[in-house]
Amino acid sequence: MATIYEVSKLAGVSLATVSRVINNNTPVREATRIKVLEAMDKLGYHPNSVAQSLASSRSNSIGIVVSELNGPFFGTLLSDIETAFRKAGKHVIIAAGHSDEKLEKESISFLQSRNCDALILHVEAVSDDYLTELADKDVPFVLLNRFVPSLYQRCITLNNQHGGYLATQHLLQLGHTNIGYISGPMWKHDAEQRYNGHLRALAEFAINSSQSVFYEGDYHEKGGADGMTQLLNTDPQITAVVCANDEMAAGAMTAARELGRSLPEQLSVVGFDNVNFSHYMCPKLTTVDYPIGGMGQMASRWVLKNVYQQKLGDIQNVFEPRLIQRDSAAAAK
CA nearest to 287, candidates 305, 304, 274, 296: 274
Q: Is-contact 263 290, C-beta < 8 A?
A: no
**With binding defined as CB under 8 A, does residue 282 bind its own copies?**
yes
According to CB under 8 A, which one of 9, 15, 43, 75 is a site residue for its own copies?
Answer: 75
Q: Which residues touch 21 (CB under 8 Å, ≥6 apart)?
A: 28, 32, 33, 36, 37
Listed ranges 34-42, 67-75, 145-153, 303-311: which one lies at the site for its own copies (CB under 8 A): 67-75
Residue closer to its own copies, measured from CB, 73 or 319: 73
Q: What minimum distance in Å lies between the beta carbon of 69 and its own copies?
A: 4
26 binds, among its own copies, DNA, none (CB under 5 to 8 A by kind): DNA
Distance between CA atoms of residues 216 and 113, nearest Å:
38
According to CB under 7 A, which one of 29, 137, 311, 333 is a site residue for DNA?
Answer: 29
Instruction: Tell which phi-psi region holds residue 98, choosing left (phi > 0), alpha (psi between -120 and 50) or beta.
Output: left
262 binds, among DNA, its own copies, none (CB under 5 to 8 A by kind): none
Listed ranges 74-82, 142-150, 203-211, 304-312: which one lies at the site for its own copies (CB under 8 A): 74-82
Listed ranges 162-170, 274-282, 302-310, 317-325: which one lies at the site for its own copies (CB under 8 A): 274-282
According to CB under 7 A, which one of 10, 20, 120, 165 is a site residue for DNA?
Answer: 20
Hey, is 54 helix, strand or coil?
helix
32 binds, among DNA, its own copies, none (CB under 5 to 8 A by kind): DNA
Of residues 40 through 69, those in contact with DNA by CB under 7 A are: 45, 47-48, 51-52, 54-57
Distance between CA atoms of residues 28 and 53, nearest Å:
23
Q: Where are the beta strands (DSSP E) in the chain?
A: 61-66, 91-96, 118-121, 141-144, 155-158, 179-183, 214-216, 240-243, 268-270, 287-289, 318-319, 322-324
185 binds, among DNA, its own copies, none (CB under 5 to 8 A by kind): none
Residue closer to DNA, measured from CB, 7 or 77: 7
**With binding defined as CB under 7 A, does residue 317 bind DNA?**
no
Distance between CA atoms of residues 202 and 205, nearest Å:
5
Four-point Cα dihedral 139, 82, 85, 90, nearest 10:
70
According to CB under 8 A, which one of 32, 83, 177, 178 is a site residue for its own copies?
Answer: 83
According to CB under 8 A, which one of 8, 17, 19, 59 is a site residue for its own copies?
Answer: 59
Element (H, E) at 106: helix 101-113
Residue closer to its own copies, measured from CB, 7 or 199: 7
**With binding defined as CB under 7 A, does residue 88 bind DNA?**
no
**With binding defined as CB under 7 A, does residue 109 bind DNA?**
no
CA nearest to 67, candidates 38, 99, 20, 25: 99
Distance between CA atoms of residues 20 and 306, nearest Å:
24
**With binding defined as CB under 7 A, does residue 277 bind DNA?**
no
Any idea what DSSP says for residue 157?
A: E
Distance between CA atoms of residues 305 and 84, nearest Å:
12
Distance between CA atoms of residues 63 and 95, nearest Å:
8
Distance between CA atoms of residues 90 and 86, nearest Å:
5
Binding site for DNA (CB under 7 A): 1, 3-5, 12-17, 19-20, 22-23, 25-29, 31-33, 45, 47-48, 51-52, 54-57
Binding site for its own copies (CB under 8 A): 1, 46-51, 53-54, 59, 61, 68-72, 74-76, 78-79, 82-83, 86, 91-96, 109-110, 112-115, 138, 250, 276-277, 280-282
